[in-house]
Amino acid sequence: MEVVLAKTAGFCFGVKRAIDVAFKEADQNKKVYTFGSIIHNEEVVNELADKGVEVIHTKEELKGISEGTIIIRSHGVSKEIYDIIHAQGLKLVDATCPYVLKIHKLVKEQSEKNHSIIIVGNDMHPEVEGIIGWCMGNFTIVKDIEDAKKLDLSLDKPVSIVAQTTYNYKKFEDIVEIISKKGYDINVLNTICNATQERQSEVKELAKALDAMIVIGGQHSSNTQKLYEISKLECENTYYIQTLRDLDLNKIKSFRSVGITAGASTPNNIIKEVHTACQN
């Protein structure tokens, strides 16, 4: 059986940076917290928990902490969370992905210019929740093409469009095209990160060429879900797993060729384990 490992599989720059920051702080300080899971991968979060790093999820929990280090997760947070950390006198360590920080800056600047902000993404995702917290005025979440078709904003204000960094690039293009036909004065800011676009392009090509695809990543990982969706459209035999335990090797070994890719928050040891098992 031919086994092809995607070149782009595994940690992206922003995720690796966040993990390195978190483990460094865990080794150097006693009371360390992350606001939300540092990345969307249970294995990594559990490793940090073993080192004493606690995950907090709400403003109320944050306000109840009087000392220690707060690490901002890779997905970023709202301006309000920064303000609370400073007000509590806590040590702030910012592990937000630089691509996400760029979006925070853009929506703040554009909304201060009195632009309506459109955020293309999943309104339940922590990255989008964080972006919302930097909008100084009107904002609208567009989840999909149906939302874009229903969009009805005032024509009196310019519109700036940004995207969740892990959004499907082709869908983003389709949504922008729909919005551009509504007569708004639009400013399109493509904020989908390069690593996301490269992964999505690669998985599409692999899925077209191979008999089966394995997509590895956390259940709550947005970028992994997008990889799975893209692969599934091209290759019916696409399997979404978190670790080797979730994989039916007997089924996989019935195919002549198998591709393996992984989301941006999937550790290399998990990818290697799956790759080795498929080759043996």
Q: What is the residue whose two structure tokens read 């940004």?
A: 162
Q: Among 53, 100, 60, which residue's Cα sits nearest to residue 84?
A: 60
For residue 245, with 0-12 CB atoms within 10 Å meaning exposed, 13-18 middle and 19 or more buried, which class applies? exposed
Catalytic residue, from 43, 127, 129, 202: name it.
127
Examine the residue annotation and report whether 25 is marked as an active-site residue of this protein: no
The first and second tokens of residue 42, run together, are 């249970």
Q: How many CB atoms lie within 10 A of CB 98?
A: 11
Which of 204, 145, 141, 215 minimizes the C-alpha distance to 174?
145
Closest by alpha carbon to 190, among 162, 218, 153? 162
- Identify each DSSP E strand in the chain by its residue range: 2-5, 32-35, 54-56, 69-72, 91-94, 116-120, 139-142, 159-163, 186-188, 212-216, 238-241, 257-262
Query: Could you list the active site residues?
Result: 127
